[in-house]
Structure 1
Amino acid sequence: MLSSREVVLQLTDQLVKVESVVNTPGEIDVARALYELLSSLPYFQEHPDRLLLSRTVDDEVERYNVLAFVKGTKAAVSRTVILMGHTDTVGIEDFGHLKDKACHPQELMKALRQESLPPLVKEQLESGEWHFGRGVLDMKSGVASHVYLLKYYAEHPDELAGNLVLLAECDEEDSSHGVLSGIKDLKRWKEEHGFEYIALINSDFVAPLYEGDENRYVYKGTIGKLLPSFFITGAETHVGSCFEGLDPNFLAAELTRQISYNPELCDEALGEIPVPPVSLKQMDLKPTYTVQTALSAYVYYNFFTVSWSPKEVLDKLKEQAEIAFANALCVLEDRYRRYRERCNEAYQPLPWKPRVMIYEEMHRQLLEEHGESFALHMKAFKEELMQDKTLDTRMFAARVVEEEWSWMRDKSPAIILFYSSLYSPPIDLSGKDERERQLLRALEEAVEAVQPNYAHPIVAKNFFPYICDMSMVCLRDDEAGIRAVSDNNPGWGTKHYVNYEDIRDLNVPAINIGPYGYDAHKKYERMEIAFSTEIVPQLTDLVIRKLIGNEVNIDTSLQVY
C-alpha cells in the first residue's frame, strides 16, 4: 500500500489555501499554483512538453486547465489511463463571519471549536479524523490524490506498461468549460503520442445517501442533467379586475406544484433511481412595480436522467405542463364562480384554454409566418444581447424566447418549454465492450483487495448521484437526442454551444473514486481523512496497476509508439 496520508493531506491544504471560486480570478491562481508544483518535479523539468497550462476555449472567463502525462517505460504501449478532477469550488459566502478562514483549514477548525455546532459536526471535529474547509471534500483532496499518484509514477515510470494522464480542470461548478476544453487537448495528445484512452478515473466526492449510511461509495458512471425551462405568458390586467386577466405567476406556481418532487418524473436504469426534479428558479419578468399583473413568468428545474433522452424529457414535461395548465384553469374557474356567488352576480365562464408548445414548434411556426424578416431580426437581437455580460445562459435563453413571443400573432396565454443550459449526458459502465469489462474487473478486484483493511463497506453503484464532469467524457446519445438539445436551446450557437462530437470522439469508460465526507457546498464541508487520503489513492492505484501497471501481462502485439 502506498503511504499517502500526510502527503495527500498536505497537497490538499496547498490547493485549498488558493481560493478558487468558480468564475473568479481564483481559478487562474489555482491552475498556476498546480502548474508550478508539477513544474518543480524532476520528471517535468526533464520533459517540459509533458506538462501543459491550457486556457479554456470559447469561454467568456479567463481560466485554465492543467494537464500532464507520464509515459511508462515498462513497455512502450499505447494504453492510457486518465486521472481527472476539478480545481474550482463554490463560493464561501455561506461561512458568514468565518469567511476569511474558509480556505485555511487549520484556522477554520480552531475557530469552529469556539462555535455552537450540530452534534455530529462537533463529534467529528473533535475526533481529529476529519478535515474542514471549502474544497477539502469537493474536490481538492481528490485532485491531491491524483497528483500524489502522478508524482509517484513520474518517479517510477518503469512500473507502467502504458501512460498516465492528469486533467485538473476548471469550471466544473458552472458550465464545464474546463473539461470541454480539456477534451480538445486530450484528442491532440492522442494524435501526437498515439494514446489509446482505455479508462478515466474521476475523483469527485462521495457522501452518505441516507441517515445512518456507513457505506463508502465508488461509482461506475454518472447521472445526466438537463435544465428544462418554461416561459409562461398570461393576460395582463389591473389587479382591481383580476379575473379579467390570467396571472402567469399563478400558472407558474401550479407548474412547480406539478413538477417539483414528482416521483413520476424519476428516471430508472440498472436498478437505480435518481431524485425527482426540483425548482431552481421561479420569477416573473416584470421589471418594476405596477398594479398590473405580470406579462410573463420564467421557471426552470433541475432534471436528472439515467436512460431518458432529451427528447423524451421534453415529451414528458410537455404532458406535465398541459396537466398543470388545465389544473390551474380549473382552480381559477372554481374561485371565480365562488367569488361571483358571494357578490350575488351572474357567472360567465372564463375564456382561457390550456396551451403548451415546445420551443422548436414555436420557432418553426414563426419562420413559416414571417420568414427572413424574423430570422434576420432574431440574429441581430441575439448579437446585441450578447453584449450584456450580466446575462447567464439561462437568462439569455429566456430573453430570446420573450422576444420571439412578441412576434406571435396569437398571444393567448401559453407555456413555452425549452432548454436553457448545459446538457450533461448520463453514462454507465455495464460491460458493453472489452474496455468496459476490463475497467469493471479492475475496480471490482481493487475493492476486494482493499476492503479487508478498512472498517466501512466500500460499495460500487452505477450512477454518481450528483452532477459531475464524467458526463463529458463519454456519449451514448444518438444524433436525434443531441438535436433535441440544440434545436430547443434558444441560446445555441450564440451564448451556448457544446461540440458533443468531441465527446463522442473521446468516448472513454469512466469511474469515480473520490473522497468521502459531508456537507459539500455548505459551511461545514469536511472529509474523512482516512478514506480520502489513504483508501482513495490506494484504490485508484490498484485500478491503474491492473490496467497499465505491474499486474498487466504485456502483450507485444499491442501498438507501440
Structure 2
Amino acid sequence: MEKWQTKEQLTELLYELVKIPSVSGSQAEKEFPEFVIHKLSELDYFKENPAQLNKVPTEDGRFFISAFVRAQRPIEQTVILFSHFDVVDVQDYGKWKEFAFDPETLTNQFYDEKEKLPKEVLDDLNTGNWLFGRGIMDMKSGLALHLSLIEAACDGRFEGNVLLISIPDEEVNSVGMRAAVPYLLQLKKKYKLEYTAAVNSEPMFSLYPGDRNNYIYTGSIGKVMPGFMCYGKETHVGEPFSGLNGNLMSSFVTAEIELNTDLCDYDEGKAAPPPSNLIQKGLKESYSVQIPHRSVTLFNLFLLERSIEEVTDLLKEKASLAAAKIEVLYREQAERYASATGSAATKHKVRVLTFEELVSYARQNLGEERIQKIVDTLIAQRGEKDDREISIQIVDQLAILCKALAPMIVLFYTPPFYPAVQSHHRPLIQETVTKVQKLAQTNYQTELIEQHYFSGISDLSYIGMPAKRTSMKELTSNTPIWGHGYSIPFDAMEQLSVPVLNLGPIGRDAHQWTERLDADFAFGPLKELLTISVQELLTKKRRSE
C-alpha cells in the first residue's frame, strides 16, 4: 500500500514533519532523524535491507539521515536526493508563535484574521492553494517529496539507485553536510557506485521584490563572511581627539561595503545580490567613560565566479577607502576643534591588513609559541560562543597584543564558507532541464526559467562542480578558527564533484512569519517533474556511455 504518493498523503506527511520544531541547534533537531528513520523503516524494502537505512552522527552530536535504495538489477548509476530538516526560529511570528509549527491551525488562523495580512499574502491565501508554517517551504516540503521518491524507488520504479541524504544545520554552519561528504565517498566505494547527479529541492527564491517567476537551478551560489576588526586608540570622552573611536571606524567600513554593487559577482552578465551587514558591534565589555576603541563588522558576500584572492583584494581596497575617509574626517574635525580652542590638531594614519599579516607580525614580535598558546586557550575556553564570536575574540586578542600597529582595520573570514558550484554546461544536466521545462510548459502551463545559481545558499556547494577551481589558502590562512573546530573537506569534495540540479516548490517569504507553500504545485506538477528528473538523470547518463 502506497504511503506518500497522493497530494493528501503528502500533505499529511508534511504536517507531521513541520510539527517537529527542529530549529537549528535545538533538541528537536537532534531527535528529528529518528522520526524519519521510523517512517522509512515501515517500508518493506528497508525491513528487508535495514543496513541501508542509517542515522549517521556528525562531529557535534547531531545526525543526518541516509536511505539507500538499490535498483532491482545491479547497476552503478545513482542519484542523490539532498535536503535539510533544520529550520530557523519563530520569534518573528509574534502572537501566532504557538502555531508556527502547526500548518493546519496557522493557516486557519490567517483565514480568520485576513485583515492583518499584507496584501500579497492575502492574495495567495485566497486562492486556497497555500499552506503556512515555519519550514513548510524551507524545506520540509522538499524532504516530503524526496521521501515519496524513495518510496517509488523501493517499489522498483527507477532504472538506477537512489540515495536520500537529509541533514541538520544547513541554516547555520553546515555541520551535517560537511560530515556527509566523506560518508558519501565511503558509500561510493562500499557499493561501487557512480553518482550521476545530486538533486536538491530547495524552494524557488525571488530575484527581486515582487518577482513571480518560477525557476529551475543548475548550480548554487557561493558565500563568504568577511569581518573587519577596527582597532582605534583609547582615550577619555573628555579628550576625544587624543584617541580614535572603533565604532566610528566600523561605521565607515559598513558604509563602504553595505549594498555596494562594486562587490557584486557576475555570471554571464547577471549579478549576485550585493553584500549585507550581519553583525556590527563595539567590543567594550562594560560601561565607562573610555571611548570604545575596538569594534567589529561582519558581512554576507555572495560568490559566483570570483576567487577568494580576488575577493580579498577587493575587500582590502574598500577597507582602504574607508580608512582614507576616516583619516579625512578626523583631520578636518581635529583642525576645526583646534581652531576653536587654540590647541594643536592631531591626525591618524589608519593601517589596513589581513589576519594573516596580523598573525605574522605577532609571531615575529611575540614568538610562535606564545601566539599558539593564546589561540589554543581561547578555543579551549570558548564555551557557548559560536564560530563567529570565537573568531572575533581571537582577532581581537591578537590585535590587543599588536596595538603598536593601531589604528588598524584587520580583514578576516568567519564560517560558514560555501563554494559557488555550477553544472549548466554539463550535457546531462542541460538535457534534463530542457525536458523538464518542456513538460512543465506543456502539461502545466508553467514556465521554469533556468538560473545558473540558486540564490538562497544550499549545501549543494559542498558536492557540486566548483564554478572556479582555485587555491583555498587565502581563505584558510585568514580564517581564525580554521583547524580549530571548523574545516571543510576540500579533498573529499574534489573527489565527489557531482553535477547538481535544484528543482523545488513554489514558496514565498522564507525565514519570515508569512513563509508559505503552494501545496497544489508541490504535490502535483512538481512531484511528477522530480520523478522525471531522477529517471532522466539515471538513464541518460547510461545511454550516453
TM-score (norm. length: structure 2): 0.95
Counterpart of 2:51?
49
Gaps of 5+ in 1: none
Query: What are the Cα deviations for residues 222-258 of structure 1, in whole angstroms up to 9, with x where unaligned?
Result: 1100000111101111111111111011110010000
Instruction: Give 3-state SS (helix, strand or coil) of 1:240's partner.
Output: coil
Counterpart of 2:69?
70
Cα separation, 2, equivalents of 1:102 and 1:117 = 15
Counterpart of 1:356?
352
Counterpart of 1:162?
160
CA spacing shift, 1:524–1:380, aligned 2, 3 Å: closer
Counterpart of 2:99?
101
Instruction: Give 3-state SS (helix, strand or coil) of 1:498's partner.
Output: coil
Task: Decide which moves more: 179-188 or 301-310.
Answer: 179-188
Cα separation, 1, equivalents of 2:541 and 2:282 = 60
Counterpart of 1:438?
428
Cα separation, 1, equivalents of 2:410 and 2:532 = 50
| 1:339 counterpart (322, 337, 340) | 337
- The within-5 A match list for 1:244-283 is 244-283=242-281
Counterpart of 1:295?
293
Cα separation, 2, equivalents of 1:151 and 1:141 = 15
C-alpha RMSD of matched pairs (Å): 1.9
Counterpart of 1:463?
453
Report if aligned partners of 2:218, 2:429 keep a CA contact under 8 Å in 1.
no
Counterpart of 2:131?
131
Cα drift, residue 205 of structure 1? 1.2
CA spacing shift, 1:552–1:279, aligned 2, 3 Å: closer
Cα separation, 2, equivalents of 1:320 and 1:328 = 12
Instruction: Give 3-state SS (helix, strand or coil) of 2:404's partner.
Output: coil
Counterpart of 1:37?
39
Instruction: Give 3-state SS (helix, strand or coil) of 2:139's partner.
Output: helix
Cα drift, residue 506 of structure 1? 1.4
Task: Decide which moves more: 477-486 or 301-310.
Answer: 477-486
Residue 314 of structure 2 aligns to which amino acid in structure 1?
K
Cα separation, 2, equivalents of 1:470 and 1:292 = 47
Cα separation, 2, equivalents of 1:214 and 1:480 = 36
Report if aligned partners of 1:83, 1:200 keep a CA contact under 8 Å in 2.
yes
Counterpart of 2:532?
542
Residue 284 of structure 1 aligns to which amino acid in structure 2?
G
| 1:373 counterpart (340, 361, 369) | 369
Cα drift, residue 554 of structure 1? 5.9
Cα separation, 1, equivalents of 2:284 and 2:343 = 33
Residue 407 of structure 2 aligns to which amino acid in structure 1?
P
Cα separation, 2, equivalents of 1:132 and 1:107 = 9
CA spacing shift, 1:517–1:288, aligned 2, 3 Å: same
Cα separation, 2, equivalents of 1:363 and 1:376 = 10
Residue 55 of structure 1 aligns to which amino acid in structure 2?
P
- The within-5 A match list for 1:181-220 is 181-220=179-218
Residue 140 of structure 1 aligns to which amino acid in structure 2?
K
Report if aligned partners of 1:161, 1:554 keep a CA contact under 8 Å in 2.
no
Instruction: Give 3-state SS (helix, strand or coil) of 2:356's partner.
Output: helix
Counterpart of 1:315?
313
Instruction: Give 3-state SS (helix, strand or coil) of 1:218's partner.
Output: strand
Cα drift, residue 553 of structure 1? 6.4
Cα drift, residue 337 of structure 1? 2.4
Residue 322 of structure 1 aligns to which amino acid in structure 2?
S
Residue 528 of structure 1 aligns to which amino acid in structure 2?
D
Residue 223 of structure 1 aligns to which amino acid in structure 2?
I
Instruction: Give 3-state SS (helix, strand or coil) of 2:159's partner.
Output: coil
Report if aligned partners of 1:134, 1:525 keep a CA contact under 8 Å in 2.
yes
Report if aligned partners of 1:38, 1:44 keep a CA contact under 8 Å in 2.
yes
Report if aligned partners of 1:272, 1:463 keep a CA contact under 8 Å in 2.
no
Cα separation, 2, equivalents of 1:277 and 1:230 = 14
CA spacing shift, 1:288–1:553, aligned 2, 3 Å: closer
Cα drift, residue 479 of structure 1? 8.1
- The within-5 A match list for 1:4-19 is 4-19=6-21
Report if aligned partners of 1:82, 1:197 keep a CA contact under 8 Å in 2.
yes
Cα separation, 1, equivalents of 2:470 and 2:127 = 53
Cα separation, 1, equivalents of 2:524 and 2:305 = 34
Cα drift, residue 480 of structure 1? 5.6
Cα separation, 1, equivalents of 2:74 and 2:310 = 46
Cα separation, 2, equivalents of 1:399 and 1:22 = 23
CA spacing shift, 1:475–1:217, aligned 2, 3 Å: closer
Task: Decide which moves more: 476-485 or 504-513.
Answer: 476-485
Residue 12 of structure 1 aligns to which amino acid in structure 2?
L
Report if aligned partners of 1:70, 1:165 keep a CA contact under 8 Å in 2.
yes
Cα separation, 1, equivalents of 2:198 and 2:169 = 19
Query: What are the Cα deviations for residues 155-192 of structure 1, in whole angstroms up to 9, with x where unaligned?
Result: 1x2x4332111001111011101111112221111011
CA spacing shift, 1:132–1:268, aligned 2, 3 Å: same
TM-score (norm. length: structure 1): 0.92
Residue 355 of structure 1 aligns to which amino acid in structure 2?
R
Report if aligned partners of 1:183, 1:473 keep a CA contact under 8 Å in 2.
yes
Query: What are the Cα deviations for residues 387-443 of structure 1, in whole angstroms up to 9, with x where unaligned?
Result: 332211111111111221233262421011010112100011132xxxx31122112
Residue 41 of structure 2 aligns to which amino acid in structure 1?
S
Is it true that 1:506 corresponds to 2:496 in the alignment? yes
Report if aligned partners of 2:205, 2:456 keep a CA contact under 8 Å in 1.
no
Cα separation, 1, equivalents of 2:226 and 2:407 = 19
Cα drift, residue 352 of structure 1? 0.6
Gaps of 5+ in 2: none
Instruction: Give 3-state SS (helix, strand or coil) of 2:295's partner.
Output: strand
Instruction: Give 3-state SS (helix, strand or coil) of 1:227's partner.
Output: strand
Residue 494 of structure 2 aligns to which amino acid in structure 1?
R
Aligned length: 540
Task: Decide which moves more: 86-95 or 475-484.
Answer: 475-484
Is it true that 1:528 corresponds to 2:503 in the alignment? no
Cα drift, residue 452 of structure 1? 1.5
| 2:437 counterpart (447, 460, 480) | 447
Task: Decide which moves more: 508-517 or 406-415.
Answer: 406-415
Cα drift, residue 386 of structure 1? 2.9
Is it true that 1:389 corresponds to 2:383 in the alignment? yes
Cα drift, residue 136 of structure 1? 0.6
CA spacing shift, 1:379–1:281, aligned 2, 3 Å: closer
Query: What are the Cα deviations for residues 542-561 of structure 1, in whole angstroms up to 9, with x where unaligned?
Result: 11111225x77668xx7xxx
Residue 422 of structure 2 aligns to which amino acid in structure 1?
D
Query: What are the Cα deviations for residues 264-303 of structure 1, in whole angstroms up to 9, with x where unaligned?
Result: 0001113321111111011011000111101310110000
- Identity over aligned residues, as a percent? 31
